[in-house]
Structures are given as C-alpha cells and as structure tokens.
Structure 1
Amino acid sequence: MKLTPAQHDRSAGVLLGLACGDALGAGYEFAGPLPDSTPVSMRGGGGFHWAPGEWTDYTAMAVPLALAAADGGDLRDEAVLDGVAVQWVGWAKSAPYGGIQLGAVLSRSEPTAAGVRRMAREQHERNGRSAGAGSLPRTAAVALAYLDDPGALADAARLVSELTHCETDTGDACVLWGLAIRHAVMEGELDLRVGLPLLPAGRRAAWAARFAYAEEKRPADFSNNGWVVQTLQGAWSAITHTQGTDAGQVRRAIEAAARGGGETDAVAATVGALVAARWGLAEVPTSWRRLVQGWPGLRGVDLVRLSMQAAHRGEAADADEVGERRGVKLRALR
C-alpha cells in the first residue's frame, strides 16, 4: 500500500521502538518499582546478563514474523506460519532465555506451526493457564503487515498469538494492541480502544473497564504484569501518564514502564512499539538507536529497514523511502 510520508516515518519506527523498550526494560526486570526521579538507561545486566542494548525474546520472536511479511507472506497462511515456526524453534535451541510458556513450548516442539500449537495446548493443559505476555510484543510485526486491513490484522494477531498462548485474554490483548499500532501509524493517534469493535461483543465491556482502570493507576500498581492483561494495562498506564503534545513521550513512556517493576522488558517493549508508531522513527532517541542490538545479529538500522519492508509487504514504495532492497544481515538470516 502507498503510505504518506508521515505514515511511512511512523511505520519505520515500530520495530525499533519495540526493541528499544525491550532492551531498556531488560536491565530492570524485577528490580522495581523505582521512584519517578530514578534515572534509567540501557544498562544491560538483569537475570540473563544482557549486554547493554540487547533485546530479549520479545523482539527476537517478532523478527521472523516481520521477515515473512517483508516477503509478502500472509500470516494467516499455515505454510507461512510453518516458516516462522522453523525460525522460532531454531532460536529456542540456542537462546539462553525465554518465558516459562515460550521456553516449554518451543524447546519441545516440532518445527511446524501445528507442532508449536500442539505443544502450547499440552503446556496449557498441564499448567491450567497460558496467559503470559510472551505473544503480545511480537504482534508489532503483525500490525505492520496489515496496515491496509484491520479485519485481517485482528485475525492474524489472534492466530499468531494462539501458536504459543491458548487463553482468550491473550488473543484479545494482541488484537487490541495490534490495532492500536495500526491506528497510530495511519492516523497519528494513540487510542487503545479503537480495536474494541473487533472483539466478540461479550468481551468488549470488560476490556474497556480495564483500560479505564489503567488510566487511573500508575505502572507500579500492576504488580502482576507478567499476566498479559496487566502487561497491557501497565503499558497503557505508562503511556497515559506521559502523554503530551511533544514527541519526548517516546523516551518518557518507555522509561516510565521500566520504573514500574515486574516484567519491565515486556511492558516497556509494548510501550515502545506503540509510542514509536505514534511519534515516528526520528523521535526514538539517537543513543538508543545506536546501541540496540540482538538476535539474530541485527542492529537498530536493520529493524528500521525490516519495518519498512514489512509495512510494504516487500514492495518498495520508492528508492528514497526504503533504500536498498535487502540488507546484508537480513540476507544472512535467510
């Protein structure tokens, strides 16, 4: 699809914002909550000894989805999801990190969408739950793939979530957040409620109440933010309480999420993609853009290129907008 220059700039920042929030939050996981005056940075460390600027599984799992979209794939197609599953399972064999649900599912799955889905169901039945935050941040890539079709976006977001997480709340959250990213790119507005009409009617009121509650509370009030509902509430709280008319909200909102405590990488990643979708690539702090990096050997510039390619489904808008067709590092990943 043809994007305006403003829409193009906003779409280009989505994966970078995701990764910057993820990498900044990683160093503060379970270290908070912290006072509002506490400086935070991409310091690395944390439970998995992250390098400064290194993103976690939240961004890592978005990369294969964005690559599939960049190749023009439909993320509702089982064959396309098979290709994503191959990369996820391969990553899980060497990754030193991953949430409880993701780690259990991917480390034991066959490298197919059906195999991953089946293991997710077995793990869900074993534990009685699978509503962690693991499938939420990666939905940023799904949003980029369907900027022209909100209905398809909602369907794909739920299908991609259900590969690893079985609970209804998880799929709902991915639908709502993905549609909010799309709306931010296309309209330049932050509105988490825009996706409510695409949920089943019986679940809309509960989510609307959850959003209203998030607007009244601070990120630190959502201490169970490893649960996808509170991940999204904590993220919306951080965004709401830093909202203003200036693009400094990208930094302010991500930092507020990191100070909230708990699953700071998940919450800050969720925040980062959405505020970058609203304010655009240029408003992601330069120091973060230069430092951020992670699996599979990509850096910030690679994520920008990948965002543009995913948004255009592999069709370059023009040479000035998209640059070279495929970067060396992205070719190597294939």
Structure 2
Amino acid sequence: MSDADPDDATTDRAAGALLGLACGDALGRPVEFETPASIQAEHGRVTEMLGHGTHGQPAGTVTDDTEMALCIARSLVARDGFDPDDVAERFVAWLDAGPFDVGLMTRDAIDELRDGTPPGEAGQAVWERRSEGSNAGNGSLMRCAPHALAYHLDGRLVEVSRESSAITHADPRCAWGCAALNIVLSGLVAGDDPALAANGVVLSINEGDAVREVVAGIKRAVEGDGGPDPEDLSASGYVLDTLETGLYHGLTAPDAETAIVRAVNMGDDADTVGAVTGAVAGARFGASALPERWLEAIDEADELRSLAGELLALEPARP
C-alpha cells in the first residue's frame, strides 16, 4: 500500500457511510409516513428489519434512497468521476425498471431527462413549475453520499454535490444541503471529530444562509453549547429538516445503531431521515460498528462495501 492509499480505518468509515445509508433506509422503510405514536403502538420501538409495512416489501428491502445512491456510485466508478450525462442515463434506466418508491420531483425531473432535457436543466425546469412548499424536498440529499467518498480529497466536492443535486432538485436549499452533508461526511471519513466535521461546512460554503444556520446549530450541539432541542426536530420531507435531523442524530448519538434507531422511530419520512442519519453515523463510527444482523438482511450490502472502497481510491478526472 502506498502512502496515498487509505488506511483500514478510513476504508471502514467510507464503507460505513454507504452501508449506514442503506441500513437507515431499510430500517425506516416499513414505518414511512407513520407517526411516533402509531409506531409505538404497533412495534414498540423499531430496532430490527421489518417486513411488509409501508410499500409491502420483505425485511431489509431498500428504497429509492439507496437505489439512486447506487446509480451515482456506479457512475462515479465507471466514469472516473462525476459525469452528469451518465448519471442521468442511469436515473432514466432505474425509473424505467419500475421502482416501488420514487419522489414526485424526482419522477418529474427524470421524465424531463427522458424527453431530452439536459441534466443541468431538468431539475431547474421542475423547480420553476412548483410552488414554495413543494419545491425543496430531500430527494437529492438522500442519495448524495457517494460524492463525499469520490471527492474526499478534492476541492470540487462542493461544486459536484450541487451539480448532482440539480439534476432533479435545483432549489438552492437542496443543492447547498447536499454540499453541506457531503462536507461533513468527507470530514468524518477522514477521521475528524464531529465538531470539526460540522465546522467544515461553515468554513467551506460561501452562500446559502439557511444551510449555514442549520449546521452551526449542529456544531453547537456537538460542543455542548445549546443547539436544537430533540423535541423540536422534524422528520418531514423538507430538505433542511432532513439535513438538521440527520446530522443531529448522526453526530450526537453514542453509537451508530442508536443514531439510526432514534431517527427511524420519528416516523414521517423515516426511510430518508434514517438514510441520512445512517450515512453520517456510519461515516463517524465505521461499517464495523453497524449491526451485522442489519447488514445480513440487505441484499446490496456487499456491492455497497465494494463500491465504497473503489470510490475512496478514485482520483477523479478533470473535465
């Protein structure tokens, strides 16, 4: 192994980011759209992979969160970096295969791509047609983690994260939300402590006040100086709610399992909040800290682990 090669701990944290995403996604899928009270009444506390429930799938089944992250990860490896045209083609093929779960903005943008709209314009076209309150969902945030691995040592991480988001979600809150999450993930994979990883966002983004405010709140919580009250966190599909809640649970929980369980049992958009939390907690604690019983239930686990290593070893080509 050369001096530039990642060490075992870094590789474990990189795999944790993708596997944690899948764990949170699959654990949350059966209770998506439920309330904490209905989850408590039916399941007590969700700590195991459940079958049936929302979308009626077998235990361990992932949703569009993981499937679209896989599209991006496969593209990054195949194209030696971010190629929006290739990502767009993979998104179209994925949707044409008939996934059981797909967000409204995502579907509309992929329809634009299928009709020939360039990747840099598809998400913008959809965004401009939608009114405030339905135009800043978490559908790009849920899938963006592979970029944090491929560009973990590359100054283009912010640019790539924003451009990738805009393929389907062009709202600045979505684009900067992806950049913010990926900066945190990149720092955690590198071995930074949670406070330092969160502070990297404040130092790295030059616009997007809403995102800076959210992550500054997370930084305060990690440092023990106030921060959000857990009772005030939201598991809605609004991108900044998902970002704040995922970062809070992922950066403050004592271990990866606790982080993901806390997020999923909030209900509402449980799979995506679980996926974002899982990516953060997995990058923080490593794949080796994720429950083996969860990983054994996820069919995509081996590929995600392999892709994480390949992404970490990439030296993305310049355009």
Q: TM-score range by the shorter chain?
A: 0.7 to 0.9
**Could you tell me which amino acid in structure 2 is paired with residue 266 of structure 1?**
T
Would you say 1:308 and 2:309 are equivalent positions? yes
- Distance in 2, matches of 1:202 and 1:65, equals 24
**Could you tell me which amino acid in structure 2 is paired with residue 303 of structure 1?**
L
- Distance in 1, matches of 2:250 and 2:156, equals 26
- Distance in 1, matches of 2:53 and 2:88, equals 28
What pairs with 1:1-334 in structure 2 (closer than 5 Å)? 1-34=4-37, 38-71=45-78, 73-75=80-82, 80-93=83-96, 94-110=98-114, 114-129=117-132, 130-149=135-154, 151-190=155-194, 191-201=197-207, 203=209, 205-208=212-215, 210-211=217-218, 212=220, 215-218=227-230, 221-223=232-234, 225-242=236-253, 244=254, 249-293=255-299, 299-313=300-314
- Distance in 2, matches of 1:208 and 1:306, equals 28
Is the contact between residue 67 and residue 310 of structure 1 (CA under 8 Å) also seen in structure 2?
no
**Could you tell me which amino acid in structure 2 is paired with residue 89 of structure 1?**
V
- Distance in 2, matches of 1:124 and 1:201, equals 19
Is the contact between residue 85 and residue 116 of structure 1 (CA under 8 Å) also seen in structure 2?
yes
Partner SS state of residue 190, structure 2: helix
Is the contact between residue 11 and residue 277 of structure 1 (CA under 8 Å) also seen in structure 2?
yes
Match of 1:329 in 2: none
**Could you tell me which amino acid in structure 2 is paired with residue 115 of structure 1?**
P
- Distance in 2, matches of 1:201 and 1:124, equals 19
Q: Which runs of 5+ in 2 are unaligned?
A: none
Encode CA deviations 1:88-137: one digit per residue, 9 max, x unaligned: 0111122222111112221343276x534433222212212421000012
- Distance in 1, matches of 2:66 and 2:191, equals 24
Structure 1 pair 136–290 and aligned structure 2 pair: CA distance change class (3 A) = same
Please report the TM-score for the alignment, with normalisation by the length of structure 1. 0.82
The alignment-based identity, stated in percent, is 27
Partner SS state of residue 42, structure 1: coil
**Could you tell me which amino acid in structure 1 is paired with residue 202 of structure 2?**
L
Encode CA deviations 1:228-248: one digit per residue, 9 max, x unaligned: 000011112323552x3xxxx
